[in-house]
Chains A and B, each alone.
Chain A
Amino acid sequence: MAHGPQTGLKRWLYTTNHKDIGTLYLWFSFAMFFLGGCMALIIRAELFEPGLQIVQPEFFNQMTTMHGLIMVFGAVMPAFVGLANWMVPMMIGAPDMALPRMNNWSFWILPFGFAMLASTLFMEGGAPNFGWTFYAPLSTEYAPPSVTFFIFSIHILGASSIMGAINIIATILNMRAPGMTLMKMPLFVWTWLITAYLLIAVMPVLAGVVTMMLMDIHFGTSFFSAAGGGDPVLFQHVFWFFGHPEVYIMILPAFGIISAIIPTFTRKPLFGYSSMVYATAAIAFLSMIVWAHHMFTVGMPIAGELFFMYATMLISVPTGVKIFNWVSTMFRGSMTFETPMLFAIAFIILFAIGGFSGLMLAIAPADFQYHDTYFVVAHFHYVLVPGAIFSITAGVYYWLPKWTGNMYNETMGKVHFWLAFIGLNLTFFPMHFVGLAGMPRRIPDYALQFADFNQMASMGAFLFGAAQVVFLFNVVRTVMGGKKATDKVWDNPEGLEWTVPSPAPYHTFSTPPVIR
């Protein structure tokens, strides 16, 4: 009955165990986070002052493109999938994921996809240099030859995401413990269920658009070339029909993590569970009908501008409900501030700031001024770094004792938090100012009046990078050993994962727990 993992390399290569695969995803994501982070540091080093110092513009564009792609597809998405693999079966009382062999595949094709993407850096003509949004015709007619490898790589990453999503949906819908109705599921499970549907809805759209690019480049079609009867704006519509839900794919699971952490450290149940579920669903629905707010300046008819403006503004209502609910959970709680809680609180504050700048961006006439400036860069980094990265970090600290059976070092965790918090704000807050003052994004060199804030941002970026080294060190130390964690770990956590021993056994719930 109780059999453990295989030994050595085989364990990881052949594993169908949700915990092993979760671990693989998380380490892979961590590695990609550092790789994408190093690229960001090259960008920030070049922008430390006006003039070209460290890299040439061609390489600068490759770095911005690869940084974006690696962070989105390599760091944030796999990290959430890793957390889902670890936690979803444990949270719903299932023995494993519903489709364990596919689970192995959906992880193992990722390293190959990224190896192909990274190999383009060494190709003649260089890596993709057209931005992570790869607007045609820059990414088709005017792209380096390596674009073909980029397209195949995107196909692989998309296939991995879709397989992961199918697996999560199948697990959640079929393998819940007796008595766990949908409205009794932890919010992390709920948010992932909705995210998985979003993934299945939009990843094929991305696959479609890169296939259209492939056709334009190699098979003589002209989907995106006006000279052949095509439309360059069509690319943007298709891309953002994927791309806008994609940014919600990178935030919805975060809502679930934060909704688990805040009640634990306030010792008070989550305020408004059902409205949290409805708000998540509403955000997911709205995310599918607002894509063209990325394209206010392409010359849409005014009716289109108005529709996308109103719909986009509307997203702030369910998002606001979530923020208000978290604050109400904290209100009259009995709070302590361990590392996961610090990251969760920073998440709420900074994500709200990102939300405010998002609301400003929704106002079409003002967006004409903000569009494609550093104000946008500031906005989406305030949403993604605290939103996705901080919530993942919070989740790792929160569940690490359960995974390893050891407590992480609290002091080091707090040092990590404060360095990251200061570094992040120093990096991204000044970007609001340079953006408003007129600095376009994706430029390797800039006018003199932007010098001071850029210098600040670059210093902040290196600080933020250094903070992550502390994180790595802390995680490795905890995996190796340390103070033993209790089964419940925290004062008053809620959920099935805290009913099993720490570390969680290789196979949990071979007899399903019963939920009353």
Chain B
Amino acid sequence: MLRGFDRLFALLAASLSVQSVLAEEQAVERWGVNMPKGVTEVAQTTYELHMLIFWICVAIGALVFGVMFYSMWRHRKSKGYKAAQFHESTAVELVWTIIPTVILILMAIPATKTLYEIYDTDKADLDIMITGYQWKWKYDYIGSDVTFFSNLSTPRSQINNEQPKSPNYLLEVDEPLVVPIKKKIRFLITANDVIHAWWVPDLAVKKDAIPGFINESWTRIEEPGIYRGQCAELCGKDHGFMPIVVKAVPQEEYNAWLDGRVASAVKMRELTGKTFTFDELFAQGEKVYNSMCAACHQPNGKGVPGVFPAIAGSKIATGPLNTHLDIVIDGSQVNPAMQAFGEQLSEVDIAAVITYQRNAFGNEMGDTVQPVDILNFKNKQ
């Protein structure tokens, strides 16, 4: 909780140096004051709509506040101004009911048009299923074998201020969503546990990911580039650490990437039969642990008391192997926060992470779990 207010004062003192940490050329972006214009037609229409409403509001504001400041300046008692006593005028009140209504109708027309455009998800060239998990995104390319998770790649040491922050701090992932440009891409959006929202400002796509329901949205990106966003619905403690990165590339590059992805999926399946050494498993397990488990059980395996149990010295990680396999593969019946990782991770990764958990943080079980063991366990069920 509170780590002492002396840190706050140290921070206040350090605040001036924050400015110099950031490169000069980022200055313009750093002071971003408006919605991005975006890289899709919908985003640009939305931007224009936003600016239109904004300027109408500014104009009305200038008028109303103008009259107000004028009377505050002119009609002061200290200047000897005598108050008039009028207090009713049906005509005037009708005028300022009717004029705003007309303005609203004028606003509603372009808004309705844009809304129809956003809702038109028909005739997509490519369908991608997006699933929100606490706290990562899963992408399924429908019609191919390609499916993967996308995790925050900013190291914990940067978040805890032990290391300088990278330029894309908190907006970088290990596996970006790769899509082709100039293609209509339909997103099917859902969630596995709680409600999340998938949002990329440059694409003007924001849609809630709701467990048990599938929402639709679409985009057609005109320019190649990397577009960043974040989860936009409070989804628990790591809500702020759930970035989205979309990499839009030309069609050929996309095809090549997809082929590579399919090939590595095949290779991964072959690896299931291989026998690994303890060290290989332990090293891979540490990687998997840090991307999949550390958000709850903490990087040091100590958990969060009362919320997320510890791995260090836990009954499960130092007890019978089958109980451990069961909870990792099928999740917990008691605590829904513990997801079923059987479908999320490959056999190799599950074997590795279980080996790691049983031998790290002072747990010294000496177990070596092979991918085959995982496969056998799954098949028995």
- Which residue of B is nearest A363, CB measured? B111
Residues of B within 8 A of A201 (CB): none
In the complex, per-residue mask of A133-156: 1 if CB is within 8 Å of any chain B CB, else 0:
001011001101100000000000
Min C-beta distance of B24 to chain A, whole Å? 13
B46 with A447: CB separation less than 8 A: no
- Which residue of B is nearest A299, CB measured? B215
Is B124 an interface residue when CB atoms closer than 8 A count as contact?
A: no
Count contacts on B: residues with CB < 8 A to the other chain: 110
Residues of B within 8 A of A226 (CB): 210-213
Residues of B within 8 A of A348 (CB): 68
Residues of B within 8 A of A42 (CB): 2
Q: A335 touches which one: B12, B32, B64, B75 (CB < 8 A)?
A: B75
Residues of B within 8 A of A293 (CB): none
A305-351 residues with Cβ-Cβ distance < 8 A to B are 305-306, 309-310, 313-314, 316-317, 320-321, 323-325, 327-336, 345, 348-349
Size bracket of the A interface: 35 or more
B32 with A363: CB separation less than 8 A: no
Is A75 an interface residue when CB atoms closer than 8 A count as contact?
A: no
Known contacts A359-B53, A363-B49, A372-B233, A51 near B87 by CB under 8 Å: no
A55-71 residues with Cβ-Cβ distance < 8 A to B are 55-59, 61
Residues of A within 8 A of B54 (CB): 360
Is A285 an interface residue when CB atoms closer than 8 A count as contact?
A: no
Is B7 an interface residue when CB atoms closer than 8 A count as contact?
A: yes
Residues of A within 8 A of B3 (CB): 53-55
A45 with B115: CB separation less than 8 A: no
Min C-beta distance of B84 to chain A, whole Å? 4
Min C-beta distance of B206 to chain A, whole Å? 5
Known contacts A53-B11, A310-B108, A445-B159, A436 near B33 by CB under 8 Å: yes
Is B35 an interface residue when CB atoms closer than 8 A count as contact?
A: yes
Known contacts A309-B111, A363-B49, A442-B234, A267 near B64 by CB under 8 Å: no
In the complex, 7 of the A-B residue pairs with CB atoms within 8 angstroms, ordered by the A residue number, are A233-B213, A309-B108, A335-B71, A336-B77, A352-B61, A366-B53, A440-B230
In the complex, per-residue mask of A361-398: 1 if CB is within 8 Å of any chain B CB, else 0:
00111101101110000000000000000000000000
Min C-beta distance of A47 to chain B, whole Å? 10
In the complex, per-residue mask of B41-60: 1 if CB is within 8 Å of any chain A CB, else 0:
00001100110011001001
Is A273 an interface residue when CB atoms closer than 8 A count as contact?
A: yes
A356 with B68: CB separation less than 8 A: no
Residues of A within 8 A of B32 (CB): 433, 436-438, 449
A15-23, A122-130, A467-475, A496-504: which lies at the interface? A122-130
Is B280 an interface residue when CB atoms closer than 8 A count as contact?
A: no
B75 with A365: CB separation less than 8 A: no
Known contacts A268-B84, A270-B87, A317-B104, A58 near B118 by CB under 8 Å: no
B194-202, B265-273, B340-348, B364-372: which lies at the interface? B194-202
Q: A437 touches which one: B1, B34, B108, B237 (CB < 8 A)?
A: B34
Known contacts A58-B307, A437-B32, A368 near B61 by CB under 8 Å: no
B83 with A366: CB separation less than 8 A: no
Q: B306 touches which one: A144, A366, A438, A449 (CB < 8 A)?
A: A144
Is B65 an interface residue when CB atoms closer than 8 A count as contact?
A: yes
Known contacts A360-B50, A448-B165, A267 near B71 by CB under 8 Å: no
